[in-house]
Amino acid sequence: MLALIGLFGLAIGSFLNVVIWRVPRGESVARPPSHCPSCDALIGHRDNVPVLSWLFLRGRCRNCNARISIRYPLVELATGGLFIAFGIHFGIHADLVAYLYLAAVGIALAMIDIDLLRLPDALTLPSYPIGLALLGIAAWVDNAPHAFVRALLGMVALAGFYALVWLVYPAGMGFGDVKLAGVVGLYLAWLGWDQLVVGAFAAFVVGAVVSVAIVAARGGNRKTRVPFGPFMLIGLLIGIYAGHPIAHAYTHFTSGS
């Protein structure tokens, strides 16, 4: 089952490469079919196999020999790997589908934010009804209405917190981050309050450390713009995988018990 999930993730990753390129430009992800951006030649089925086609073609277009970025297979591998990781972590349960969707949309948003310092509404806003629907089904299947209510509260709480930060210091955060915050809160709070608090806090810690490193490496200053969306999603992963242990260790340390 994990192998099937991984193969499915590779296929989704191939589609995400189209999403990452076309959605910010307002283009359809369905038409026209995949084509080379250099010569516009259509990409055949044999050249559209995730990862393998890039390797067989040695990273170049079959028609015009233009270089194909290594990021294409890396996005596919990242998606397949994250799908497997979530499959291991959540098991074959009803909420796994919701988190596989989160993995896919999260990778697309992170890459677009890195490229363009944008989090497109076309990806962020639909994640609310889709996430609510998928987690609502999981709550019904697993008889866990309390988890769904907690997820709703977490969604509102984290979105509200980010909105407050944006109002106080709009230069330090884009409104796209505020929109994404509700989605992050929804998925973290479904797992628990520990995951929500740790995941939310981890985003700012990772963001601060990486931003300082980027500014230092590039010789920038405090006004250098750094995308925050990827840090929110890294914090989300930290919350999912280590939220409860970190919260427990912190409570143990502060209480001395």
In the chain, what are the domain boundaries? 1-92, 119-257
Give the chain's largest Cα–Cα span. 67
Region of poorest pLDDT, from 53-67, 102-116, 210-224: 210-224
At 7, list the tokens: 């193969």
Per DSSP, what are the bridge partners of residue 67? 60
Instruction: Round to whole Å and give the CA distance between 63 and 61.
Output: 5
The two structure tokens encoding residue 58: 């040695």
Over 70: is that where the pLDDT of 233 sits? yes
- pLDDT tens digits for range 71-88: 999 999 999 999 999 999
> How many angstroms separate the Cα of 104 from the Cα of each of 63, 110, 124?
30, 10, 12
pLDDT at site 155? 98
Q: Is the model's pTM score more than 0.85? A: yes
Report the pLDDT value the prediction gives residue 91, as an integer from 0 to 100.
Answer: 95
Give the DSSP H/E element, type plus range, for residue 151: helix 145-168
* Distance separating alpha carbons of residues 11 and 7, to the nearest angstrom: 6
Confidence of residue 47 (pLDDT cuts 50, 70, 90): confident
Sign of dihedral through CA atoms 77, 238, 231, 218?
Answer: negative
Of 20-24, 58-62, 201-205, which gets the smallest average pLDDT? 58-62
% of the chain residues with pLDDT over 70: 97
224 pLDDT more than 90: no
CA pair distance 123, 118, nearest whole angstrom: 11
Burial 121-142 (b: 16+ CB within 10 A, else e): eebbeebeeebbebbeebbeee
How far the first Cα of the chain sits from its last, in Å, is 42
Q: Does residue 41 register a pLDDT over 70?
A: yes
Give the pLDDT confidence score for residue 52 in this predicted structure.
93
For residue 32, cis peptide bond before it (omega within 30 degrees of 0) = yes
Q: 26 pLDDT exceeds 70?
A: yes
pLDDT of residue 256: 65
Span 2-22, average pLDDT: 96
CA dihedral 31, 109, 13, 5 (to 10 degrees): -130
For residue 239, name the pLDDT band (cuts at 50, 70, 90): very high
Question: Contact, 13 vs 80, CB < 8 A?
Answer: yes
Please give the pLDDT value at position 223. Answer: 66
Distance CA(73)–CA(79), nearest Å, equals: 10
Rounded average pLDDT over 125-140: 98
* Paired tokens of 51: 């990862």
CB-CB neighbours of 77 under 10 Å: 16
pLDDT in tens, 178-210: 999 999 999 999 999 999 999 999 999 999 999
Q: Angle at Cα 57 formed by Cα 55 and Cα 63, nearest 5°?
A: 160
Average pLDDT, the chain: 93
- Angle (nearest 5°) at CA 125 between 121 and 129: 160
Alpha-carbon Rg for the chain, nearest whole angstrom, is: 20
pLDDT of residue 34: 84
Query: How far apart, in whole angstroms, are the C-alpha atoms of residue 111 and residue 125?
Result: 17
